[in-house]
Amino acid sequence: MAELGMCSRREADALLAEGIVKVNGKIAKIGQSVSESDEITIGRNISHNKVYLAYYKGRGIISHSPDTSEVDISTRLMKDYGLTGVYPIGRLDKDSEGLMILTNDGRITAPLLDSKNKIEKEYEVTVDKPVSNRLLKSMAAGVNIEGYLTKEANTKQKSLHSFYLTLTEGKKHQIRRMCAALGYQVESLKRIRIAHVELDKLKPNQYRKLNKEETAKLIGMIKV
């Protein structure tokens, strides 16, 4: 499935675990051997057609590997829309919200996440005290977080306690750690843009299909 470009290897394992992958009409198992003569089908809403969605992950929703008491994006999509077979590219922590790109095209995952490609991700950050010029300049220049110096970024003040931050990398809890290193605590964090794809008017747990122009530009940027 991964070699055919239907999904990534990790996504293939998830589809198999759901029991919606069949080989010659029978439910497939992880590790099962197949040949070119076998027919592989993925059930329900999934097809060979590539799907690219902009999705607003709300607070409290898990982007990957939830505990038994938690709700992840796939579960929410199935419950709200009956939609299956698309997976988020990258992560957004439980307490953060905003834009994620969902797809069944596993080919674009690694290129979109590789910091060498300098894919911009823009955030609205609200902190616990007034935003200073020092904070904006330090965030833009790079912050030392536990021995790692973050890459240069773009910043712009939004209001007394909030600012825009554009990154081209995505370390774990990076923005929260950057702010903490400079004496600030993040009160809310929302991603509003990935490359040219914007959150726009989406509300939490809503999605929209990327239009032809957005899709073509996305594929062109990552050179699949």
Q: Which residues are catalytically annotated?
A: 93
Running DSSP on this structure, what letter comes out for residue 153?
A: -
Closest CA to 164 of 193, 197, 185, 184: 193
What does each C-alpha distance from 121 to 78, 117, 162 come to in angstroms?
Answer: 27, 12, 17
* Cβ 43 vs Cβ 78: under 8 Å: no
Residues whose CB is less than 8 angstroms from the CB of residue 224 and which lie 6 or more positions away in sequence, other chains included:
105, 107, 108, 111
The DSSP secondary structure of 66-91, one letter per residue, reads: --TT--BHHHHHHHHH---S-EESS-
